[in-house]
């Protein structure tokens, strides 16, 4: 892990803040971000660093996993550098960035297409045994750059939370865990699909 005496010169605009860490655009490259935690409150960050390094070591790459550029620490903080998904109006490089629930509601006529995209995401996640312990609409984004890039990404929540992470190594156990995570995720967003169908019905009625 790279030790840095001072990271303040690397930090651009703050783009996210959770209970454990903060996220900043990298000053020199808006396609990257820095996720930083205080060392005494860094469980999530350490788990994700360990898991991203594990994926790199076994050569697993997936379309929905942000690129990982390495970890760093200071005297008081620990963090890592990652691919950043921000729209151009907020200082990023993407034409469109939607949280998944907003994406559904802003594209109500594309529900079947979105469901197919979800199935493809789930299939890739399960087939490559990539563990996401926090699938939520805020962690799942739809991003686009012209016609070059148009995909779903999962930006947070990687790595198993269990003390003995057997699901990380045993594909059958990983599949069972991710099936449970997907059941929860689908229940959370089901209402948004219903709302999208209501929007379509109202539009058809008004026309």
What pLDDT tens digit does each residue of the chain (207 aa) get?
888 888 999 999 999 998 899 999 999 999 999 999 999 999 999 999 999 999 999 999 999 999 999 999 999 999 999 999 999 999 999 999 999 999 999 999 999 999 999 999 999 999 999 999 989 888 999 999 987 789 999 999 999 999 999 999 999 999 999 999 999 999 999 999 999 988 888 777 776
CATH fold for domain 2-83: Phosphorylase Kinase; domain 1 (3.30.200)
Q: What is the pLDDT of residues 61-91, one digit of tens each?
A: 999 999 999 999 999 999 999 999 999 999 9
Give the model's pLDDT for residue 120. 96
CB atoms within 10 A of CB 21: 21
Closest CA to 66 of 85, 91, 42, 44: 85
Give the model's pLDDT for residue 148. 79
Give the model's pLDDT for residue 66. 97
Would you say 17 and 23 are in contact if contact means Cβ atoms under 8 Å apart?
Answer: yes
**DSSP state, 28?**
T
The CA distance from 13 to 21, in Å, is: 14
Q: How far is CA 184 from the centre of its chain?
A: 16
Domain boundaries, the chain: 2-83, 96-206
Our CA angle for 200, 87, 121, nearest 5°, is 60
The CA distance from 187 to 196, in Å, is: 15
Give 140-174 as a 3 state SS string.
EEEEEECCCEEEEEECCCECCCCCCCHHHCCHHHH
Q: Burial-class residue 86 by CB neighbours within 10 Å (0-12, 13-18, 19+).
A: buried
Q: Burial-class residue 53 by CB neighbours within 10 Å (0-12, 13-18, 19+).
A: middle
- For residue 73, how many C-alpha atoms fall within 13 Å in the half-sphere facing its CB? 11
pTM of the prediction? 0.92
Give the model's pLDDT for residue 207. 66
Q: What are the CB-based long-range contacts (under 8 Å, 24+) for 190-195?
A: 192/101, 192/104, 192/105, 192/137, 193/104, 193/111, 193/115, 195/104, 195/105, 195/108
CB atoms within 10 A of CB 182: 17
In the beta sheet, which residues pair with residue 2?
A: 72
Q: How many residues does the chain have?
A: 207
């Amino acid at each position: 892990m790279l030790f840095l005496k001072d990271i303040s010169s690397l930090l651009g605009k703050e783009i996210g803040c959770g209970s454990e860490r903060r996220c900043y655009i990298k000053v020199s490259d808006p396609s990257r971000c820095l996720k930083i935690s205080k060392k005494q409150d860094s469980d999530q960050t350490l788990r994700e660093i360990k898991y991203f390094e594990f994926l790199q070591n076994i050569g697993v790459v997936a379309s929905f996993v942000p690129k990982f550029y390495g970890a760093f620490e200071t005297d008081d903080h620990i963090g890592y550098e990652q691919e950043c998904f921000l729209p151009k109006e907020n200082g990023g490089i993407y034409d469109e960035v939607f949280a998944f629930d907003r994406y559904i509601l802003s594209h109500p006529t594309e529900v079947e297409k979105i469901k197919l995209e979800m199935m493809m995401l789930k299939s890739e996640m399960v087939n490559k045994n990539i563990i996401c312990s926090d699938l939520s609409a805020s962690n799942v984004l739809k991003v686009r750059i012209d016609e070059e890039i148009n995909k779903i990404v999962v930006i947070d929540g990687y790595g198993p939370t269990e003390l003995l992470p057997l699901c990380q190594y045993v594909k059958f156990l990983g599949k069972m865990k991710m099936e449970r995570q997907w059941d929860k995720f689908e229940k959370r967003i089901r209402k948004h699909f219903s709302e999208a169908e209501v929007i379509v019905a109202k539009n058809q009625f008004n026309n």
